[in-house]
Amino acid sequence: MSIESDIFKKSTPDFKKLIEYGFKKTKTSYVYEKLFRNEEFKAQIEIQKTGEVFGKVFDMENEDEFLPLKVESQEGAFVADIREEYKTILTDIKNKCFSENYFASDQANRITNLIIKKYGNKPEFMWEQAPDFGVFKNPNNNKWYGIIMNIPRSKLTGKDKAPVEIINIKLDRDKIQELLKKDGFFPAWHMNKKTWITITLDETLQDEEIMTLISESHSYTRG
């Protein structure tokens, strides 16, 4: 993973903020340059309209790209200092011009933002071995009302190993049986199938319908 990919993972640029920060808009991207280390080096960062981030550092003495920056085996003190200063520049851009994405899919992030807006609960990533699994808890009693996970679709359908994000929520047993007859609903993966159900976050269902069901799940955590 590149330095840029690591720093900007799970984040989305706000292009208006990029302009305010000092980026220049081109036909295909936004470009920013910054001198650092007593103007001996220049960072050049390009952000594509798709959100991808690319960067280079130039040695201003000869105006050549400073290639040791991105060679992991280059671990001398001088190179390490340049790398850390470059990371500081990137991190400042991320903090001021990007919004955080908790998950991979657009719908998972939209649902997450709706949950945060309604209940104030951000997902908790509790397991090092499953860093993409985010749990939603009622902070008053730590009871779970949802968990978003990234799993192979074959775990649900028995075929197609492509990844899909899902949310497990708790519902009435009779309602679960009715919902399982519809597209987008599956027996709860890795949880009690009598009281939990899995919903795919792949645009099969509208956000509003999912949020209505999440509200029902959240009601089980009250009191």
Band (24; pLDDT cuts 50, 70, 90) = very high
Average the pLDDT over 130-136 and give the result.
Answer: 95
**165 and 206 within one domain:** yes
Q: Which of 4-18, 27-41, 192-206 is least confident?
A: 4-18
**88 and 30 within one domain:** yes
Domain enclosing residue 202, as ranges? 106-219
**92 and 115 within one domain:** no
pLDDT of residue 10: 81
**82 and 25 within one domain:** yes
**What CA–CA distance (Å, rounded) separates 25 from 199?**
40
Give the domain-ending residue among 66, 100, 134: 100
Q: What's phi and psi for 10, nearest 5 deg?
A: 55, 40
**126 and 49 within one domain:** no
**199 and 114 within one domain:** yes
**185 and 150 within one domain:** yes
Give the domain-ending residue among 33, 68, 100: 100
Average pLDDT value over all residues in the chain: 94
**What CA–CA distance (Å, rounded) separates 218 from 143?**
9
**138 and 62 within one domain:** no
Look up the CATH number of the domain holding residue 110: 3.90.1150.30
pTM: 0.68
For residue 100, which of 213, 28, 13 has the smallest C-alpha distance? 13
Average the pLDDT over 122-131 and give the result.
Answer: 94
Number of domains in the chain: 2
- Residue 149's contacts (CB-CB under 8 Å, 6 or more residues apart) are 130, 132, 133, 134, 165, 166, 167, 168, 189, 190
**122 and 96 within one domain:** no
**95 and 59 within one domain:** yes
**111 and 214 within one domain:** yes
**189 and 115 within one domain:** yes
Band (137; pLDDT cuts 50, 70, 90) = very high
pLDDT tens readout for residues 51-68: 899 999 999 999 999 999
Give the domain-ending residue among 76, 100, 124: 100
